[in-house]
């Protein structure tokens, strides 16, 4: 009997629907200097009555942090399990202005210029068509509004980039790509969004929780560890690979403005 291949969207949902609670509790996702900077940026531009969008919201950490600045925050994801978690957690936190929407990043069900701020965090590396999604973000952001992207930023050094993508894909087969800073600059420019700020922070991935959060199969875990152990010294230094497999990636923040 042959198994019918799933689409990328199905693969993403299969990966994340059962793991929503794990992402809600994940220290990497629940905190970080990128979230603090995102709150500062948004608080500096939000006006009374503004509505914002958290695209690919996951367990909702970005939405929870930005919601106090807006009249309404729409948390959108392709995983119903994630949206259920966001709804329950928002209620527990007393964030009654958060509403959820089930949709894909590339096909946003909103009118042009609907949002003052359109944001995403730790989601874009799962998108099958990132350029199309960026065009969609620009479309639903009002003239003069802002676009915020936070994601793991890959290395400009090809040798290091190859290892990062390999680790990520073996750990999670829904992974598409961690983009470099240069690639993000090009994506912003192509979408017609003026990049105002780019910031970068080291983000340590504790190996055991990193693979457990994604339910990585044992054979794939062994492959990741083999790649780490065989990695050239330049890669080991760049990623600060530790004896237990933990390593450090870079979180990039990109803040841009839509002409208007």
- What 3-state DSSP class applies to 109? coil
Report the half-sphere exposure of 241 (CA within 13 A, side-chain side). Answer: 20
Domain region containing 108? 8-154+174-203+249-258
Tokens of 220: 């794939």
5-56 pLDDT tens trace:
556 555 555 555 455 555 555 555 655 899 999 999 999 999 999 999 999 9
Q: Which residue is associated with the tokens 């957690």?
A: 89
44-73 pLDDT tens trace:
999 999 999 999 999 899 999 999 999 999
Q: Is residue 80 part of a domain?
A: yes
Q: Is the pLDDT of residue 126 over 60?
A: yes
Count the domains in the chain: 1
Query: Is residue 87 a contact partner of residue 100, using CB atoms and an 8 Å limit?
Result: yes
Give the total residue count for the chain: 260
188-239 pLDDT tens trace:
999 999 999 999 999 999 999 999 989 999 999 999 999 999 999 999 999 9
Q: Which residue is associated with the tokens 């993000």?
A: 184
Query: Is residue 177 a contact partner of residue 118, using CB atoms and an 8 Å limit?
Result: no
Q: Is residue 78 part of a domain?
A: yes
Q: Is residue 55 part of a domain?
A: yes
Tokens of 201: 């922070």
Q: Is residue 216 part of a domain?
A: no
Question: Running DSSP on this structure, what letter comes out for residue 107?
Answer: S
- What 3-state DSSP class applies to 256? strand
Q: Is residue 209 part of a domain?
A: no
- What is the rounded CA–CA span in Å between residue 14 and residue 16? 6
Q: Is residue 91 part of a domain?
A: yes
Q: Is residue 3 part of a domain?
A: no
Strands 115-121 and 247-258: unpaired
Q: Is residue 67 part of a domain?
A: yes
232, with CB counted inside 10 A (0-12, 13-18, 19+), is exposed
Query: Is residue 195 a contact partner of residue 185, using CB atoms and an 8 Å limit?
Result: yes
Strands 51-55 and 193-205: unpaired
69: CATH = 3.40.50.150
Task: Name the pTM for this structure.
Answer: 0.90
């Amino acid at each position: 009997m042959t198994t019918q291949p799933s689409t990328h969207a199905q693969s993403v949902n299969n990966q994340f629907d059962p793991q929503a609670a794990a992402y809600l509790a994940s220290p990497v996702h629940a905190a970080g200097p990128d979230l603090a900077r995102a709150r500062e940026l948004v608080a500096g531009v939000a006006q009374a009555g503004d509505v914002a969008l958290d695209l690919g919201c996951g367990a909702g950490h970005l939405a929870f942090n930005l919601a106090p600045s807006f009249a309404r925050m729409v948390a959108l994801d392709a995983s119903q399990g994630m949206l259920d978690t966001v709804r329950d957690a928002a209620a527990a936190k007393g964030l009654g202005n958060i509403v959820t929407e089930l949709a894909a990043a590339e096909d946003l069900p909103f009118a042009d210029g609907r949002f003052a701020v359109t944001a995403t965090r730790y989601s874009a590396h799962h998108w099958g068509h990132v350029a199309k999604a960026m065009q969609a973000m620009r479309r639903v952001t009002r003239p003069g509004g802002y676009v915020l992207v936070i994601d793991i930023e890959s290395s400009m050094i090809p040798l290091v980039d190859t290892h990062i993508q390999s680790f990520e894909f073996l750990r999670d087969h829904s992974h598409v790509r961690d983009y470099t800073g240069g690639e993000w600059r090009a994506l912003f420019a192509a979408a017609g969004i003026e990049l105002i700020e780019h910031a970068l922070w080291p983000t340590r991935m504790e190996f055991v929780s990193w693979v457990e959060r994604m339910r990585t199969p044992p054979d794939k875990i062994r492959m990741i560890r083999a790649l780490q152990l065989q990695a050239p010294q330049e890669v080991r230094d760049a990623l600060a690979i530790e004896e237990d497999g933990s390593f450090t990636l870079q979180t990039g923040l990109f803040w841009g403005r839509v002409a208007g």
